[in-house]
Chains A and B, each alone.
Chain A
Amino acid sequence: MSQLTINNVRISGMSACVPATVEDNRTLSIYKDENEALKVIASTGIERHHKVDPGTTASDLTVKAVEGLLKDLDWQPQDIDCFAYVCTSRDFIAPQTACVLQDRLKLRSDCCVFDLPFGCSGWVYGMSIVSSLMSHGTFKRAILVAAETNTLNRSQRDTTVRPLFGDAATATALEYDPEHSRPMNFMYGVDGSGYEAVWAPYGGMRHPVTHEALEEKEVSPGVFRRGVDMIVNGMDVFGFAIKQPPRSLKELIATFNIDVDSVDLLLLHQANKFIDEKIRKAVKIPAEKTPYCLEEYGNVTSASIPLTMVSRCGERLAGEDQHCIACGFGVGLAWASMEFYAGNVKISPIITY
């Protein structure tokens, strides 16, 4: 089992930016009537999501989230030693979006910046990577972004994805602080044989963009997609999501001797309510310790866990240390679980853009 313990790093602040435009599932034209929409809402728990207007990218939302966070923390852009950008909907094929953001955010030219192209497991993976770099002690302050514009890389005429996915950017401020930090523990998992459960077949080097890949086709009744659009095979994702995340969390609990009763918050990737409730029950955490934001924002992939923290746990995270366990899972198929403490965290109010 790959496991990791990281010391001396704490979460100092968090922020999130969502697009101003809201799409309500009740009034989506893709359904034949409201009844059909209500059925989907009842089973997924997702009522609406925020959606970028044409021309806006995940990095635009990111600039707002990071600027708000730095202001609320009273940090300067020059204070940042490391900047990681978790996102799959990158601005350009090249360069990495993090490089463009260095200039837009006025980060130092010797700042360590990089993209991490993770999906739903991305915030947990990103936390482990950035915290690990910081634990050496020379990077004092870092920003971990988890952002995604799911409405741009998925077909808007695909009934299997449109009601479920939304757009958001989140920023997590990390600080080297041996005095006020407690260990973070991580477990990882991957099953590459399931890569076709969530994927975009065209647009990479394996299947480059062709004219045909840009043509929208009806792949099943009511489902229109281009070759470059993301495919979510709901049944295979579901089978994976009810199995691996509970197993991963149970491994985390066993490996690090976590007393489940002492857990204050179970932070799950916001896949859908049906899946997440199965995971919650499997690890026996009470409902009141398991916050959700999917009803309002939908599945925002790597931004799900930090958006849940910012939008639903602000008061608790601003107070005494909260004992948290988290699990991100999805495209890859990849998943990761972590245990951490978060308290005295500066949580910025949600920014809309």
Chain B
Amino acid sequence: MNIQEFLENFAEQFDDTDAEAFAPETKFRELDEWSSLTALSIIAMVDDEYDVIIKGNDILGSETIQDLYNIVEEKVQSKN
């Protein structure tokens, strides 16, 4: 997995936010469109694409998309 692909998958969960708004350092929970429903879409996306389940605290404890990416990457590696 790589951060670029993760960013694209991440951005796909948003309907009204421009793709340019998503960078590794983006504070995703501060985006206008962010809601608890978006969080569920992110959990589903991570399950579909990376076959790991992230927890509520993984999302709430992440400030940037990079932070969340790091958590997903670690879960993927510890699985293999």
Residues of the B chain whose Cβ atoms lie less than 8 Å from the Cβ of A353: none
Which single member of A39, A233, A243, A274 contacts B53 (CB below 8 Å)? Answer: A243
Q: Which residues of A contact B37 (CB under 8 A)?
A: 39-40, 43
Measured CB to CB, the nearest residue on chain A to B46 is: A239
- Let me know if A218 is at the binding interface, CB within 8 A: no
Asked, given contacts A233-B56, A234-B56, whether A239 binds B43 with beta carbons under 8 Å apart, the answer is yes
B36, A242: Cβ atoms closer than 8 Å: no
Query: In this complex, what residue of A is CB-closest to B40?
Result: A238
Q: Which of B31-80 contact A (CB under 8 A)?
A: 35-37, 39-40, 43-44, 47, 53-56, 59
The CA of A320 and the CA of B36, in the complex, are separated in Å by 44
CB proximity of A211 to chain B, nearest CB, Å: 29
How many residue pairs, one in A and one in B, have C-beta atoms under 8 Å apart?
38
* A interface, size bucket: 10 to 19
Interface residues of A in 228-282 (CB under 8 A from B): 233-236, 238-240, 242-243, 274, 278
1-50 of chain B: CB within 8 A of chain A: 35-37, 39-40, 43-44, 47
Chain A 18-51 interface 0/1 with B at a Cβ cutoff of 8 Å (1 = within): 0000000000000000000001100100000000
Chain B residues near A239 (CB-CB < 8 A): 43, 47, 53-56
Taking a contact as CB atoms under 8 Å apart, the answer to whether B44 and A235 are in contact is no
* B39 and chain A: residue at smallest CB distance: A235
What's the nearest-Cβ distance from chain B to residue A228, in Å?
Answer: 22
Contact A235/B47 with A39-B37, A274-B40 known, Cβ cut-off 8 Å: no
Could you show 5 A-B contacts with beta carbons less than 8 Å apart?
A: A160-B36, A234-B40, A235-B56, A238-B40, A242-B53
A235-B39, A236-B55 known; 4 new pairs, CB 8 Å cut-off, are: A234-B56, A239-B43, A239-B55, A242-B44
